[in-house]
C-alpha cells in the first residue's frame, strides 16, 4: 500500500506543477522516516538551486556527496528508486488537498510532542509561555497560493474590488459617518485623541453602546478603569439615564429599565480589565482565544482603553527604550492584531502638555510618540472649552484619515451629555458655519484661548483653525 509520504515525495520529484504549488509549504520535519527527510532535502535543494525537476541520477549523485551512515544511504537509494517507478497520474487538485491535510496533521502532531517536552521541562529554549503560539501556529498551517497581485492579469478582480460595497461598522453620528465614508472598516486602527477628562473614554463607551445596539459583538478592554465603571457608563448610555440617577434606582427598577433598553439588542458585549501597564497584544490574543473556546464569542470590533497604558510584546518594561519607539511599537502591534483578527480596533491617546491647552490640536500634540499617528488609519481629536461646555458641545477635528479626504469636513461639533455618556448630532445650521470657515465655534475657541493667554505671560501667536 502506498504511503502518503511516498506519494508526496514521488510527485515532488516528478510532477512540476505539484512541486511549484506545494513545495513552499512542505517541511522536512513533517516526514517521520529518516530516509524520507534526507530525500526531501535533496529534492528541495535541487529544485531551489536549479529551478528544475531532479532526475533520479541527480538525486543519487547528490546523495553520494553526503556523509550519512551506510544504512541510511541504502534506505535513501531504495526510496529514490521507488519514487521514479511508473505510476498512474493523479488529479492535481486532489494531490494538493491530500498534501495540505498531511502537512496540517503532521504540524499539529509535532506541536503536541514539542509541547510535552516543554511541559516536562526538557526544552532548552522555550517555556510554558510559548505553548499558545506553538499550537496556534500549527493550527494555522494552510496552502495559501496568493503570492501577489498581477497588475495586468488580475485587472478583472481589481475592477470588481473597486465596485464592491465594503462592510463597515457605522456610527450613529452623521458627521462621523460622513468623514469615514459610512463607518470604520475591518483591519484598521482608529484613534481618538483628547486631553485628560475631555471625553476619550466617553466617546469609546458611546460607540461601543452603538455597536452593541447594531447587533455587533463587542469586546471592550480597559487598562484604566474597572470593568464595572465601563459597564456603568454603557448602562447610562443605553438606558438614557444619568449615572447619578442610576445609583439611586432600586434593583427592580434597574432590572426593568435594563430589560426595556436591551430587549431588542442581539449583540454581545464583553468587558475585560487589565492592570495598567501590564497587558500587550499577546494578552489580548490569548483573551480572544479563551473567549472563542469558553463563550463561543468572536468580536466584530475591539475597543482598547487606552493605547498609552498598554505594553509592547516586543520590548520589556524598564528597558532603555524611548517613548517614541515604545508607543509606536504598541500601535503597530494593535494594528497587527486588527489585521489578524479581521476586525477594527478602536483606541485612544492623550495629548501632550502643549496640546492640553491648545485650541487647535494637531498631530504634533500626540502624547509621547509621533509614531502613533504614522501607524493609525483614522485619528481625530476632541477639543473642548468652557464656552463649548456651557453649550454641551465638543469640537471634533480630523487629524488623519485613510477612509476619506481629511480636509473635507475637517472640523465639526457634536452635542455631548456627560451625565448620560452620550454624544448626539446638532442642528445643521451650527455645522454650516464651521464648514464655511467662519463659524461661531472658531470664534468661541479663539476668544477663549486668547483671553487665557492674555492673562498669562505667554504670547498667543497665530491660531489657525
pLDDT tens per residue across span 6-27: 999 999 999 999 998 898 889 9
> Which stretch of DSSP H or E encloses residue 350?
strand 345-350
List the domain boundaries for the chain: 4-139, 168-426
| pLDDT reported for residue 229 | 92
pLDDT digit string (tens) for 170-222? Answer: 999 999 999 999 999 999 999 999 888 888 899 999 999 999 999 999 999 99
Give CB contacts under 8 A, 24+ apart, made by 338-343.
338/186, 338/187, 338/188, 338/189, 338/302, 339/187, 340/285, 341/288, 341/299, 341/302, 342/186, 342/187, 343/186, 343/187, 343/299, 343/300, 343/301, 343/302
Cell digits of residue 298:
468572536
Residue 449 has pLDDT above 50, yes or no: no
Q: What is 4-139's CATH number, 1.10.860.10, 3.40.50.970, 1.10.10.10, 1.10.540.10? A: 1.10.860.10
Identity of the highest mean pLDDT range in 3-17, 357-371, 394-408, 439-453: 3-17
Topology of domain 168-426 in CATH is Rossmann fold (3.40.50)
Residue 237 has pLDDT above 60, yes or no: yes
| pLDDT reported for residue 432 | 66
Mean of pLDDT values over 62-75: 89
d(CA 225, CA 388): 26
Beta-strand pair 345-350/189-194: parallel
Residue 324 has pLDDT above 80, yes or no: no
d(CA 13, CA 345): 46
d(CA 426, CA 20): 60
pLDDT digit string (tens) for 270-321? Answer: 999 999 888 898 999 999 999 988 889 999 999 998 888 898 887 776 666 7
Length of the chain: 465
Residue 46 has pLDDT above 50, yes or no: yes
DSSP secondary structure code for residue 201 in this structure: H
| pLDDT reported for residue 195 | 84
d(CA 401, CA 380): 8
d(CA 172, CA 179): 13
Amino acid at each position: 500500500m502506498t504511503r502518503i509520504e511516498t506519494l508526496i515525495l514521488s510527485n515532488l520529484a516528478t510532477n512540476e506543477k505539484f512541486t511549484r504549488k506545494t513545495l513552499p509549504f512542505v517541511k522536512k520535519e513533517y516526514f517521520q522516516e529518516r530516509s524520507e527527510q534526507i530525500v526531501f532535502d535533496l529534492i528541495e535543494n535541487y529544485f531551489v538551486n536549479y529551478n528544475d525537476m531532479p532526475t533520479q541520477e541527480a538525486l543519487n549523485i547528490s546523495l553520494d556527496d553526503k556523509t550519512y551512515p551506510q544504512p541510511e544511504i541504502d534506505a535513501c537509494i531504495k526510496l529514490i528508486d521507488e519514487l521514479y517507478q511508473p505510476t498512474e497520474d493523479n488529479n492535481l487538485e486532489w494531490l494538493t488537498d491530500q498534501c495540505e491535510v498531511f502537512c496540517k496533521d503532521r504540524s499539529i502532531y509535532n506541536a503536541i510532542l514539542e509541547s510535552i517536552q516543554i511541559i516536562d521541562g526538557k526544552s532548552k529554549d522555550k517555556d510554558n509561555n510559548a505553548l499558545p503560539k506553538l499550537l496556534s501556529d500549527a493550527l494555522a498551517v494552510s496552502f495559501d497560493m496568493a503570492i501577489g497581485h498581477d497588475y495586468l492579469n488580475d485587472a478583472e478582480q481589481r475592477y470588481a474590488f473597486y465596485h464592491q460595497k465594503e462592510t463597515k461598522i457605522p456610527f450613529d453620528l452623521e458627521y462621523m459617518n460622513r468623514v469615514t465614508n459610512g463607518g470604520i472598516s475591518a483591519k484598521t486602527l482608529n484613534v481618538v485623541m483628547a486631553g485628560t477628562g475631555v471625553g476619550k473614554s466617553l466617546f469609546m463607551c458611546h460607540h461601543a453602546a452603538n455597536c452593541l445596539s447594531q447587533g455587533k459583538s463587542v469586546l471592550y478592554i480597559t487598562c484604566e478603569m474597572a470593568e464595572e465603571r465601563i459597564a456603568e457608563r454603557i448602562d447610562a448610555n443605553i438606558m438614557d439615564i444619568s449615572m447619578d440617577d442610576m445609583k439611586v434606582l432600586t434593583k427592580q427598577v434597574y432590572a426593568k429599565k435594563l430589560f426595556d433598553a436591551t430587549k431588542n439588542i442581539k449583540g454581545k458585549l464583553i468587558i475585560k480589565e487589565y492592570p495598567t501597564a501590564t497587558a500587550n497584544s499577546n494578552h489580548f490574543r490569548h483573551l480572544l482565544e479563551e473567549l472563542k473556546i469558553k463563550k463561543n464569542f468572536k468580536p466584530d470590533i475591539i475597543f482598547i482603553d487606552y493605547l498609552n497604558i498598554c505594553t509592547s510584546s516586543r520590548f520589556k518594561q524598564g528597558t532603555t527604550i524611548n517613548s517614541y519607539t515604545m508607543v509606536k511599537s504598541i500601535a503597530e502591534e494593535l494594528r497587527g492584531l486588527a489585521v489578524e483578527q479581521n476586525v477594527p480596533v478602536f483606541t485612544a491617546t492623550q495629548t501632550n502638555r502643549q496640546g492640553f491647552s491648545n485650541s487647535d490640536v494637531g498631530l504634533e500634540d500626540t502624547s509621547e510618540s509621533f509614531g502613533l499617528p504614522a501607524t493609525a488609519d483614522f485619528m481625530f481629536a476632541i477639543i473642548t472649552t468652557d464656552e463649548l461646555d456651557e453649550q454641551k458641545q465638543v469640537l471634533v477635528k480630523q487629524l488623519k484619515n485613510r477612509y476619506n479626504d481629511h480636509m473635507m469636513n475637517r472640523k465639526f461639533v457634536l452635542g455631548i451629555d456627560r451625565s448620560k455618556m452620550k454624544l448626539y448630532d446638532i442642528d445643521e445650521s451650527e455645522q454650516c458655519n464651521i464648514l464655511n470657515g467662519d463659524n461661531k465655534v472658531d470664534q468661541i475657541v479663539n476668544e477663549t484661548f486668547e483671553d487665557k493667554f492674555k492673562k498669562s505671560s505667554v504670547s498667543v501667536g497665530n491660531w489657525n483653525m
